[in-house]
């Protein structure tokens, strides 16, 4: 019996889904901070990262040949988001940074083939 092509993506799909949720929560929470302007880069990276995670999940779920390439870009976005979120003391930013770091590892594994 042939191996399920989706099996190689399951860990990354889970990491990307968790990261997308963490980024969406972080962006929404950053919008509630007293000085939203200082959070602008964090919010922008949260939104970019969440979108890329969602598209990466869709390509992996469809076993697309483009999934590894998109996961490489997703890892780059997650790394930038993790670095930005780590600069802020709020719990939502710290939790997002951690989810992004896990996603970087999972995406890099998929990107490496």
Residue closest to 72 by CA, chosen among 7, 12, 25, 27 = 12
Read off the pLDDT band of 2 (50, 70, 90). low
Take residue 6 and report the two structure tokens written for it: 């989706």
Q: Is this structure's pTM higher than 0.85?
A: yes
Residue 37 clears pLDDT 60, i.e. is over it:
yes
Give residue 78's pLDDT. 98
For 53-109, the pLDDT digits (tens) are 999 999 999 999 999 999 999 999 999 999 999 999 999 999 999 999 999 999 999
Q: The domain spanning residue 22 has which CATH number?
A: 1.20.1270.360
**78-to-2, 5, 53, 68 alpha-carbon distances in Å:** 33, 25, 9, 15
Query: For residue 101, what are the domain limits?
Result: 5-112
Q: Which two tokens mark 47?
A: 């939104």
Domain count, the chain: 1
């Amino acid at each position: 019996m042939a191996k399920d092509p989706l099996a190689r993506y399951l860990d990354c799909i889970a990491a990307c889904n968790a990261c997308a949720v963490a980024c969406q929560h972080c962006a929404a929470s950053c919008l509630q901070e007293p000085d939203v302007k200082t959070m602008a880069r964090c919010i922008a990276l949260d939104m970019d990262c969440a979108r890329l995670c969602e598209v990466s999940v869709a390509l992996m779920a469809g076993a697309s040949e483009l999934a590894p390439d998109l996961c490489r870009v997703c890892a780059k976005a997650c790394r930038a988001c993790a670095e930005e979120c780590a600069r802020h003391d709020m719990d939502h930013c710290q939790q997002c940074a951690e989810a992004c770091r896990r996603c970087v590892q999972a995406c890099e594994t998929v990107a490496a083939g």
